[in-house]
Amino acid sequence: MSELATIARPYAKAAFEFAVEKSAVDAWNEMLFFAGEVAKNEQIARFLAGSASVEKQAEVFSQVCAEQINDQVLNLIKVMAENGRLVALPAVAQLYAEFKAEYDKEIDVDVVSATPLAEEQQTNLVAALEKRFARKVKLNCSVDESTVGGLVIKAGDTVIDGSVRGKLNRLATTLQS
């Protein structure tokens, strides 16, 4: 995946800069996401890995995505096809989404708790995390009974383990040392 990310980065960056210039960041995000999902399709992926011509690859994308993408995204797809890089289209879509989140000052936060969080708890947690990260927070809540109690919060590279399970593990480590 890291090789695909390296290949995809210049395309995603160029697409993002173009979208910012044209004030179409959200529209491009949707179009690239759709095109990336099409490229992930098993039949399309096999077709792209085959020896089809650049024109044929671009034509297939044009037909499959006709209603979902505009001419500029189609041009991006053609350029990627000419360079033999269409297999990196899903990575382009992912990197573009990351650039958009950074641009919008948003962050996805995964929260694991022992029991489902109430609406009020989620609202309070969002407010506290927005203050801490100075970004708009999108919560992804899940339940894992093995946390026993408390929360495990993951935001990018930051992990805040306030779970009872985490505290017990830290206590056991301290007692063993």
pLDDT at 175: 93
**For 44-86, how does the pLDDT look when each residue is reduced to its tens digit (9 = 90+)?**
888 877 767 778 887 887 788 878 888 898 889 889 888 888 8
Record the pTM.
0.68
Q: Are residues 86 and 112 in the same domain?
A: no
Residues 23 and 73 in one domain: yes
Asked if pLDDT for residue 1 goes beyond 60, the answer is no
Nearest to 14 by CA among 60, 76, 65: 76
Instruction: Please state, for a pLDDT cut of 70, what percent of the chain lies above it.
Output: 98
Task: Over range 96-104, report the average pLDDT.
Answer: 89
Please name the amino acid found at residue 144: D
* 40 shares a domain with 19: yes
Mean pLDDT (the chain, rounded): 88
| pLDDT band, residue 2 (cuts 50/70/90) | low
Tell me: do 63 and 130 sit in the same domain.
no
Are residues 110 and 79 part of one domain?
no
Cβ(32)–Cβ(68) below 8 Å: no
